[in-house]
Copies of this chain bind each other. A is one copy, B any other.
Amino acid sequence: MKVIAGLSLVPLGTPLSLSPYVAAVEDLLAERGLTFTLHATGTDIEGEWDEVMDAVKAAHQKIHDLGAPRIQTHLSLSTRTDRAQTMNDRIESVAAKRT
């Protein structure tokens, strides 16, 4: 089962700048060979369900290890059985319908 996920992870009890933590998550996703894109409110990831979810768990563990005592994550998860669809397919499909 493939998934397109939108990950927004917020560490609590840390300095106000979240970018070092977000960068640490991006590094982790890159090390795992996942396809992902950073945007202003989160990171979109596509891949096999188990690989994506293992990465989300590893991200929580890594951010706790970096000193955050508490983490609040929001994760969107899209699956479909009717056809394959990549993150790029979605963006191009919308762009083609703009007036």
Binding site for B on A (CB under 8 A): 1, 4-6, 8, 10, 12-13, 16-20, 22-23, 26-27, 37-42, 44, 46, 49-50, 53, 56-57, 60-61, 64, 69-82, 87-88, 90-91, 93-99
Evaluate contact between A75 and B74: CB separation under 8 angstroms.
Answer: yes
Q: Which of B39, B75, B80 sits near A77, CB closer than 8 Å?
A: B75
A contact patch SS: mixed
Distance to closest chain B CB from A22 (angstroms): 5
Residue of B with least CB distance to A14: B12
Q: Which residues of B contact A80 (CB under 8 A)?
A: 69-71
Evaluate contact between B69 and A82: CB separation under 8 angstroms.
Answer: yes
Distance to closest chain B CB from A20 (angstroms): 5
